Amino acid sequence: MGDDTAIIRGSSRRHWLVTTDLSAEGVHFRNGETDARDIGYKATVANLSDVAAMGGRPHYLLVALAIPKLWSPEEIDRVYEGIMRACRAHGVELIGGDTSASKQGLFVSITLIGSVPPGHALRRDGARTGDLLYVTGTLGDSRAGLQLLTRRRGQTTSSASGLSSAHRQYLIGRHLRPVPRLQAGQVLAALRLATAAIDLSDGLSGDLSRLCEQSTAGAELDMHTLPCSVPLQTYSRLTRQDAATLALEGGEDYELLFSVRPGNTTRLARVAQRLGCRVTCVGRVTAKRAGLTLRRPDGRTVPVPVASYEHFRS
């Protein structure tokens, strides 16, 4: 435990990774607002991302569904369609599951089985003082996409109405159809480049805090280095939000955060294009007593706000 994914010692050639994630209606998604295919897809990606954070390859999937009477067989088929789309994209085979009635709300519980060569698994507890912190891709897009989706119903005129359709679709797509960083995780594991890794499901601040706790370490983030996409920058300007704060606190990006020894950063730069996505250095690992700090653009250092992503509740 500790890592979201358990390791089972298999043969001398591979160890198994097992992870399970549960998505609940009204907590992770709402019926009628989310295409049922996106519910299935995203529930699957949450698991794939856990395996990516260990540097593993995903193989087999089991799905347990609790289905309320309100959900039609067609809608349930669409949930499976989304699950199968995520499976096909990453060569994963659906091997079993269970269905049950539900008095209230759809529940999607997914178990994913992957593998990693013995000794290769990325863990959360290996970050050491002086290591540099990197993230894959860009951060905060998913949170912006969620805001666009949920604002659509309440507010008829939105301050984000100046956003181009392409930017809007990009941000919503990043929220509904995130891409697990399996290739990046596998390359980092195979080359033993990461001393620790975690996937960003709850937001950078929350997941960094988790990684540091497991590694008995502190961390300093450089706020101006947090990678923000052009659509996010445009969106945050229009909505008068700070893009770096969205990047820091927004969850469900499913990017990887990992630490690298200073002596290995040149090697990382050399293999960067094999990771399948951009990587950005966002800070460094410090002693535990230094806590989690954020270096602001003006040079001041403040504690990292611990408000990590909370699933919406009404």
For a second copy, the binding residues (CB under 8 A) are 1, 4-6, 8, 10-11, 16, 18-28, 59-60, 62-66, 94-105, 107, 109, 111, 113, 311, 313
**Between 63 and 208, CB nearer to a second copy:** 63
**Between 98 and 302, CB nearer to a second copy:** 98
Residue closest to 139 by CA, chosen among 269, 234, 272, 232: 232
Cα separation of 150 and 144, whole Å? 10
**Between 27 and 272, CB nearer to a second copy:** 27
Shortest separation between residue 63's beta carbon and a second copy, angstroms: 8
Shortest separation between residue 24's beta carbon and a second copy, angstroms: 5
DSSP letter for 84, please.
Answer: H
Shortest separation between residue 43's beta carbon and a second copy, angstroms: 11
Shortest separation between residue 214's beta carbon and a second copy, angstroms: 15
**Between 44 and 241, CB nearer to a second copy:** 44
Shortest separation between residue 66's beta carbon and a second copy, angstroms: 5
**Between 96 and 262, CB nearer to a second copy:** 96
